[in-house]
Structure formats: C-alpha cells, structure tokens
Structure 1
Amino acid sequence: MNLVALDKPESSEPTATNSDLAQTIVQILGISFQNNPDDTSETATEYDIITATTGIIIDAKERLILTDFRPVDWQNIAGERRIDTLYIVTNRDPRKPQIEYQAELIAANFERDLAILKLTKKIDGSAIESYAPFSEAKIAATVPRDSGQELRILGHTGIALEPIKFEKLQLIGLMNSSLESIKLLLEDDLGSADKFPEYLKLMSGPNLIEKGAAFTSKGTFAGFLSAMPTERDGPKVMIRSVDSITDAFASNNVVPVLNESYRREFTYRPSNQARDKDQIYVSSPHFATLALTNKFGRELAQYGDQFNNISEIFYEYLVSKTRNQIELSEIWLFDNVVIEALSQSRIYSSDGASWHGQSLRAVTANTAMGLTNDDDSNALPKGNWELQILINGTLVATSQFTVGSTVTETSQTSPPVSNRSELKLEPEITNFVWGTSSNIDGEVTGNIEAGIKKILLGFNYRHFDESMIFGWKV
C-alpha cells in the first residue's frame, strides 16, 4: 500500500505559515455512545470521549489521514469494542476547531504504531460534498539531517476543542531502529537496515504537545512525535521519520480492512516501567562505545551490555519534564558494591523531557576504586557494573553491563545503593477507587448505584517485575 507519496524537493516550495500547516492537522476523537451505538450522529445520543490524538491529512482527494494506531484502535486489550466511531476535528480556522466528520480505520502497521483513516461522512451522518475543501500536507522528499535544524511541531492537547498548539524543537541527529546514530555508523561496513533513518532525535521534548506532526522550516511534513520504542508510554523526544512512515505502508506488515477482530495479530507493548500517574518518568540507561557530541546534544552508537578491554563507556537515559525541583542521583556499583566517588546527585527541573548521561572512563573508575592506572592496558576493571537512577532517594531505573565476563545472577538484582537512601522496592498496590467508567487518563470515576451493570476498580501498582503475579477474587 503506497499511501504516502513524496513531494518535490522542498527547496522549490514557498515557506508555509503556521496557519497553513494547521489546516492539514486534525484532532481525532475515539467516541463511545452511551445509548444506541448504531446511531453515530453527533446529536443523536450522548457519548464519551475514550481517546484523543492528532492526525495529518496526507491525501485530500481520497480523504486519507495519517495518525498513530493505539488511540484509534477500536478494541481494548481483551479484544472487546471500546470505540463506536471516530470524530474528526478540523482546523479550517485554527482559532476555532470544530467537529465536522466521521472516519473509519482502514489500515495499520502495528509494528510502527501507525494507522490510516478515511473520512466517510459528515458529523450528522450525511454524505461529504465532492467539493469539500481539504488541505493536504506536503511530504518531505528527504529527512532533515543537520544538527541544530529547527522543526515545527503542531498538535492538539487533551480532548477539549481548543486551538492547535505550536512548538519549535531542534534536531540532534538521525537514528536507526536500534537508536544508534546514523552519522556514527556511516563509515562502518553495515547493512542498509543499520543506516535507515527510523527516528529523528530531538534536543528535548515538547513542553505542551504530547502528540503532533513535525514540519521542516519550509513546511514539509517530516514525521510524527514518538517515544522511545522501549518506552512506549514515555515522553516524546523523537520523531518517527517520514522515511519510516513511507516504508511502513509500502511493506508487507500493513493490515488492511480492519472490520473484524485483529487482536490475534497485535498485542500492546507497554513501557517496561509501571508508574503512578504523578511519578516522574525515567528510562532505563543504555550503554554504548561510540559517541559524538555537539552543542545541540549527543549521538551514540554500538550499544551493548557486554564489553571487553574498553577504556570508556558512554551512557544515556531520559527524564520527563518536571517543573518542580527534584534530586536526580546516579549511583554506580561494581560487583554489588557502591562506588561513592563515581556517584553523584544534582537538583534538576525542566519544562520538557531531556536526555541525561556522560561517560564512565577507566582512569576515573580506577582512581575511584583505589586501583593503579596502567598506561599499557587502560581499561575498565573487569566485572559487573550497574548504574542506578534515583529521584529524591527512590530508585526509578537501573541497568547493568559487564566487562570481560558474563553477567552473574547476583548482578541482576538491585541491592540498596547506600545508607543515605532508603529505597522502597517491595511490590505495592495502592489507591483503590471504585466507579462506573474511566476517562482518557485511565482514572476510574462515577458513583456506584443500585441496578448498574458494571463496576470498575482502579488502583496503582509499582515495583512488580516479570516473575511476579497478582490477582484477585470476587
């Protein structure tokens, strides 16, 4: 399915204004009707907004919209219908968005979390006029590549009919599907998949927009805001490139005509860290042997957790925005022993998600551990290394790597980091709430009364690993 057509080189295009770009953007609302689900007109019955996201018109003639899959997925995890129809909010006047159309999900690429919608009728159920005006996005012929290049992000926030939001973000560089820097790998003898620009790495995440489309300075569509693939529910600090989107719908992984159950072909891959709603998001650190740094950020390549005779390891992790000041700590352990001289803490706050990380050098590590630095074999000590990330004294993320040997079972555990931090790592289930419905944030609401057909129980859980199971009895 070649649904995304490239435009001519943007050097020949006039610069589009934000108002021009806004008219190519739509808000998509997943609707569940409270009474008669067969009557989908806006005024026919009361409805709940189950999901909300941002889409972009990619074909005005065929009335096709590109968006992310999960918010328009009409099934829940159990394979049950949760959405009756999709309402489309247009921005013909960017100051006054309005619900105008209904749409259907016609194709999806589950692996890349992308979907194509088609406008099918007006909000009142009548046919769309053949002359109805739609503005389609101009697709960038090539992805932006220059560090520091400015990208414009447009998108909707929440579920209210509010004017479209606009932010400017700067590019660090291009990354492949393994999050390795394309620039660092260009000189290596690697396959084309290693050099394919899957993502654009941003200097920081947006302040307001959580789901949006990225445009170049000329106004051509460059991709969608995306979280790290290992942190699906994490903050958006990357852009899934237009190359990735084009490839997604030209591949054999496209599932068309989604009018029957497709849950057998797709399962959610949520973040590997369960968090309370208000808990600050921190990704697990990643370790690499190559790094390239400029004033806009840092690119890494050759990730791993097993190294031999290495003199420097680069590491990086992501912290979500937090306007309140927090104490962010990095605690280093070697063979389960805290190395105080390598560990550090600092006060941190930010209006957007940001990357953190430095490097662990052999000279520094040997000095901190009281070992002799040998000029002939300047390498990190052999053994099991662990980096723990703490926020206000509580462990939130950890990763390990090994130098010169295999990881032992004892190194997989996370012992207390030091006497100065009392960690609460036991599994917890808290904040039980009974209700009758849930909102877009997953919060359970509603009063329980006699005669209702369904009761929901909401709760928070944390510090469970893959080996643990919890259940309940009714």
Structure 2
Amino acid sequence: MPPPFGTARRVASSWARRYGSTSMFTPRRAWCLAAVLLLTAIPASGCDRVGRIIPGNGLVGRASSTPALLAPGSRPGGATAIPDAQLAQSIVVVQPAMTTDGKQQIARSGSGVIVDADQRLILTSYAVVLPFRADGSPAYTTILISTNRTPDGAPTPEFEADLVGADPVSGIAVLRVMRDAGASSLSPGRFNLPAVSLGDARTAAAGLAVRLFGHPGSSDGHLSPLAIRPTTIIGIRGAPGVTNRTWLKTDARLPAGVAGGGAFNPAGALIGILAQDRYLETAEVSQLLPLELAVLVLDRTKKETARYQAAIQLRTNIPGAAAPPPNDTMWVSAPVFGVNAIQSGTNRDLFDYGARFTSAPPALYYEYVLEGVPRGTIIEERWSLDNVAQDSLSSSYRWDGRGVGIQGDRMAVPGSQTITRGRWRLEIWAGGALRAQATAFVGVTPRDPKVTPAGSGSTATTDAKPQAPAIATSTQALAFFDFTGAEGAQTIDWLVLYKNQRIYTSPVLRWDYGDAGRAWVGYAANGPLGSGKYEIELHIDGKVMAVLPIVVP
C-alpha cells in the first residue's frame, strides 16, 4: 500500500489507549511534503523540522480478550459488599421492538438498571432506546423488559416499558415499566423487583475497583445469562462545553448487549451506566456514564407530568460532517480538543476541552473513539490549516485493536512556542474513507452560519433529502435545511409551532454537521399529525437562523 502522505517517510511515535493491563508500542508513520505547502502554516524552514510531529509517549493498554464471568454470590467488593446475586435481580434486558402485522422484531438489545421500584423506573443508555430510524420513522413500538429472577437462569420477558425521560447529550435514558409483556396493563404486584442503591460517582477516580453487570445479548435466539465483570476505573473523559466529566474509562471489554447495564462500587452502590458512544452491535463496551449525569435526568423525569417527546434529527451523518457514512460497521467519534492533559501510567486524561481558543496554546491535545474497527485497518489523521493540507503533521497507523478504543495524541508546531493561529481541522479516515472530523479555532473567530429551507417530509433519504411527504396520517414531520459557515457552531435546538401555537421545544443538542451541507430536524407527534401548517424555528448557538415551514395537506 503506498503511503497516504507524500513520499519522504519518517517514523513518529504516538500513543493510543486500549483498556487493559498489557502495554505495547504502536508506531505511526508521517510523511513530509514540499515545504512550500507549509509556509502559510509554520514559520520555519526545512522539511525535517516542520515535518516532525510531536507525539505522546507511545504507550498502549490492552485488555484480556474474554470477560471474566463470576458466579452470582461471589463478593469481590469485600465482606460488607452487597452480593452479586442481590444486585443481579435489579439488572434487566432492554429490547426495543417493532410489531408489524402481528409479528414482533427486536430492533436492539441492551441492558438496564432498576433505580426506583415504586415508580418502576429503569436507567439505561439512550443509544439503546433511540426512538427513530435513520430515515426519521419510529424505530420501535414497545420496549421489552426481561428479568433475571433466578441466579443462574436465562432472562425471561416479563414486562413492556415506555421511554419517559432522556438526555441525548449525556446519553442517559429513563424507562418506566407500564405493562405485562403482550398485555395492555400491568398486573397488580407483579413488578416486585428491587431497586439498587445510588452511589456518589463524583468521588470515583482512577484505581477504583468496580463491578460491571449487564446482559451480553442473545445466542441462537436465546438471551444469555447475566455477565458480571470486576474491573478498575483507569481515567475520565470530557467534552467541549461540559463542565463535568462525561465518561469514566475502564479496562474492561464487554459485548454490546451490556450497554445500559450498571457499574457498582465496592460497597454495591450504583456509580455509572455502561454505554457506547454510539450503539453498535459489533463493537464492545468499555466506558461508563457517571451517575451524576443520570441523577439529573432521573430527577427531572420524576417531576415531569407531560408525556416525553424525543428530539428527532439527522443522526446518521459522519460525525462533524453533513454526509452519509460508509456502509459498513465502523464508527469513529468526532475528535475533541484540549489544551492540557494528565498522564497516569498508560492512561492520559484530557481536560480544558474546547473548540475555540482565544489565545494560541503551546500544543493541542486531541482524542477520538473507534468502535467496530477491524484489526489491521489503516487509520489516518489528516490535519489542515485554513484549508491547506498539513501533510507533515498528518500521520497514519495500522489499528491493532479489537472492538473499541480511544486514540489520542498531542500536536505542536516545531520551532514555535505556540500553535499557529487559524482554523485547524482534523479528519479521521479509516479503511480509505472519511469517518469523522472536527475543527479547532486558534486565535480566530468562526464565521456566522447561514441557513435556508430545503423542503419537508415525513421521512428522509440517506443523503438528507425529503423522501415520503408529510400527510395528515403521518406521525412525524421533518424540516430540511441547507447551511454554510457552520464549522464553528456548537449547539442546535428548535421550536415547533402548529397554527401559530408552540407545541414542542427541543433540548439544546450538540451541533455535529460541520461547515456546510444539508441536515434535518423534526417533530414526532403522539398520534397522527393532522392537516395544517407547522413551522420549525431553528436555532444555532441560541440564535434564530430560519423558520422552516411544513404544510400538511
């Protein structure tokens, strides 16, 4: 395979993190192009000097290939810990399902944790119960809940639940058990499973021993028994615009079905929810959503009296770009940037996250998540400055991992005390295709975005165009829009008006569509839309960008 960046090859080390206890080195390769391509970016001369990427420490952690399954009743947390068998009763299987013509089809399979027995509330991962398909249509009609009442038995479908609360940004969802499985009501006294105790995840730090509980999924059409894995927290992750940490990293590797399951401290109190950055059946789970994020959603759900309405928007784009992803099982998160990091053994935690830096820092740290990337895939990190390719700062490496991993490094300009001012874009390519991108604004101000309406419908094509029209019997309406100059945008939200009356306010969500392209947002009714005029007032970074009309005949 020819080198993707130029012809003069140079080996540069970088660090990559796989969760585990074994360390190894992953070489990267960087290629230098002619210095003339770099004069606008780096005030230095000589290909050797400007072409040298400043790397991290080259350490990689690797986990064992199979999860350790403990017999219920063992107590790794110590003599005073709540036994595994007791905690196991509060861990359920969560399976969104679509019923069509009397036939039920499972859309996804995950786990959940009972956190309020009186109100029948279950915490899970929002990615597991995402309510809409890629085209904007409903993904399921009910959520099956299977329980594990015997210590070593397979889960049994017992109940159906509704999505009653969620925070799409943090990735937390709350379910409420509403019915017996296949019935229209809940039998009195049947939901008698215990709730877990809630712990304080704010004190969780690297080195804390935890127990992970979740259902791996199905085998030969049958649900697998509960998996219990003792592991250790090895670090944290954050996100731009979020004050607190958003992820806890562990050295575990568990099947996708455990997403939504629980992480418990040595005493047996819940401190986190297992989750993926994006639900992917072929990828593994290794991270936790801290309980402090879940408590906010849980408290809000308990106080809410109105029926929950999920935000419906384009979610199947390449992260950081309004374009459909390649048709395979690989997924890469949009890179995030930080100006500082803490190194602890093989783990590095970024902090001071951001995308806009008023002053030029000495270096930019960055990280991104890989899910479902096959071993041996070539990963490329392509840098550009103000749309000029910086090939000598770009690099590639061969992924030697398994289902999930976090990659990261530190980018600096040789011969300079600070990063050159401008728009630094980082593109992540895998298997020869663009997978994700993000831009850091260093000492410059992003452009103001512009939005124009681009039609309406009830479903969307993979390239974000109207598919089926919105009619009176449709249950959702989508508004499409073209945009430019949005590379520096951070948030998106919208209001929905029907006959000049506000009927829905979306949560404030992350902008994830890049600089220019087409996207869509929408409104999901609790029944048929009915005829009339809908309007969607679209906001980017809190400013009104456009009013998108939807006329339903």
TM-score normalised by structure 1 residue count? 0.64
Note if 1:245 corresponds to 2:294.
Answer: yes
1:14 aligned onto 2:53: no
Q: Is the 8 A contact 2:240 2:336 kept in 1?
A: no
Task: Assess, with a 3 A threshold, how the Cα gap between structure 1 residues 289 and 109 changes in structure 2: closer, same or farther.
Answer: same
Other structure's SS at 1:357 match: strand
1:94-128 per-position Cα deviation (integer Å, ceiling 9, x unaligned): 43224242233273134454123125436677964
The match for 1:164 among 206, 226, 237 is 226
Q: Which amino acid in the other structure matches residue 380 of structure 1?
A: I
CA–CA distance in structure 2, aligned partners of residues 428 and 116 of structure 1: 32
SS of residue in 2 equivalent to 1:148: coil
In structure 2, the residue matched to 1:298 is: 348
Residues 34/337 of structure 1: CA separation in 2 closer, same or farther (3 Å cut):
closer
1:89 aligns with 2:154: no
| CA gap 1:275/1:16 in 2 versus in 1, 3 angstroms | farther
Are residues 123 and 219 of structure 1, via their aligned partners in 2, closer, same or farther at CA, if it must alter by over 3 Å? Answer: farther
Which of 264, 268, 277 pairs up with 1:215?
264
Structure 1: distance between partners of 2:275 and 2:325: 19
Indicate whether 1:155 and 2:217 are aligned.
no
Structure 1 residue corresponding to 2:174, chosen from 109, 115, 121: 115
Aligned counterpart in structure 2 of residue 202 of structure 1, from 243, 249, 252: 249
User: Is 2:152 the partner of 1:105?
Assistant: no
When residues 276 and 337 of structure 1 are mapped into structure 2, their CA distance, relative to the original with a 3 A threshold, is closer
Structure 1 counterpart of 2:204: 145
Match of 1:380 in 2: 419
User: Aligned pair in 2 of structure 1 residues 382, 100: CA closer, same or farther (>3 Å)?
Assistant: closer
Give the deviation of 1:27 after TM superposition. 0.8
Contact 1:205 1:235 in 2 (8 A): no
1:354 alignment counterpart: 405
Q: State the AA in 2 paired with 1:153.
A: L
Task: Write out per-residue CA displacement over residues 376-406 of structure 1, whole angstroms, 9 at most, x where no aligned residue.
Answer: xx22333443323222443323333343434
SS in 2 for 1:405: coil
CA RMSD of aligned residues (A): 4.1
Residue number in structure 1 paired with 2:439: 400
Among 368, 380, 386, the residue aligned to 1:329: 380
Is residue 317–residue 325 contact of structure 2 (8 Å, CA) maintained in 1?
no
2:267 corresponds to 1:267: no
3-state DSSP of counterpart to 1:324 = coil
Question: Does the CA-based 8 Å contact 1:26-1:57 persist in structure 2?
Answer: yes
| Cα distance change on mapping 1:244 and 1:269 into 2, 3 Å | farther
Q: Spell out, residue by residue over 1:411-464, the C-alpha distance to the aligned partner (whole angstroms, 9 max, x if none).
A: xxxxxxxxxxxxxxxx989xxxxxxxxxxxxxxxxxxxxxxxxxxxxxxxxx99
Residue aligned with 1:222, SS: strand
CA contact under 8 A between 2:115 and 2:122: conserved in structure 1? Answer: yes
Q: Secondary structure at the match of 2:95?
A: strand
Shift of 1:240: 2.1
> Partners of 1:284 and 1:235 in 2: how far apart?
18
Unpaired runs of 5+ residues, structure 2, are: 1-76, 319-323, 449-461, 465-512, 521-553
CA distance in 2, matches of 1:127, 1:251: 24
Q: Distance in 2 between matches of 1:251 and 1:69?
A: 16
- Residue 166 of structure 1: how far off its partner (Å): 3.5
Question: What one-letter code is carried by the residue in structure 2 that aligns with 1:163?
Answer: P
Name the CA distance, whole Å, in 2 between partners of 1:127 and 1:398.
Answer: 47
| 1:351–1:217 distance in 2 versus 1, CA, 3 Å | farther
Letter in 1 for 2:343: T
Q: In structure 1, give the amino acid aligned to 2:444.
A: S
Q: Which moved more, 1:348-357 or 1:65-74?
A: 65-74
Three-state SS of the structure 2 residue aligned to 1:288 is: strand
Compared with structure 1, are the counterparts of its residues 465 and 164 closer, same or farther at alpha carbon in structure 2 (3 Å cutoff)? farther
Deviations 1:330-364, CA, capped at 9 Å, x for gaps: 233334444443332222221242211111223x2
Cα pair distance change 1:208/1:167, threshold 3 Å: farther
Q: Distance in 1 between matches of 2:440 and 2:347?
A: 24
Distance 1:268 1:69, change over 3 A: farther
Q: State the percentage of identical aligned residues.
A: 20
The answer for the alignment partner of 2:121 in structure 1 is 64
Alignment CA distance shift 1:327-1:266 (3 Å): closer
Counting matched residue pairs gives 369
Return the letter of the residue paired with 1:246.
V
Unpaired runs of 5+ in structure 1? 1-10, 37-45, 181-193, 367-372, 410-426, 430-462
Tell whether the 8 Å contact from 1:145 to 1:173 is kept in structure 2 after alignment.
no
The equivalent of 2:92 in structure 1 is 26
| Structure 1 counterpart of 2:315, one-letter code | P
Q: Deviations over 1:113-163 (max 9, x none)?
A: 412312543667796464875233222144442213233322224454221
Q: 3-state DSSP class of the match of 2:294?
A: helix
Whether 1:48 and 2:105 are equivalent positions in the alignment is: yes
Counterpart of 2:147, as a letter, is T
SS in 1 for 2:198: coil
Deviation at 1:26, TM superposition (A): 0.8
Cα contact 2:133–2:139 (8 A) shared by 1: yes
CA apart distance, 1:67 = 2.8
Going from structure 1 to structure 2, the CA distance change for 1:77 and 1:332 (only over 3 Å counts) comes to closer
CA deviation map 1:285-333 (0-9, x unaligned): 2222121121252222222234424222211111224342122222333
The answer on whether the counterparts of 1:30 and 1:83 sit within 8 Å (CA) in structure 2 is yes
Per-residue deviation, 1:25: 0.7
Q: Could you tell me the TM-score, scaled by structure 2's length?
A: 0.56
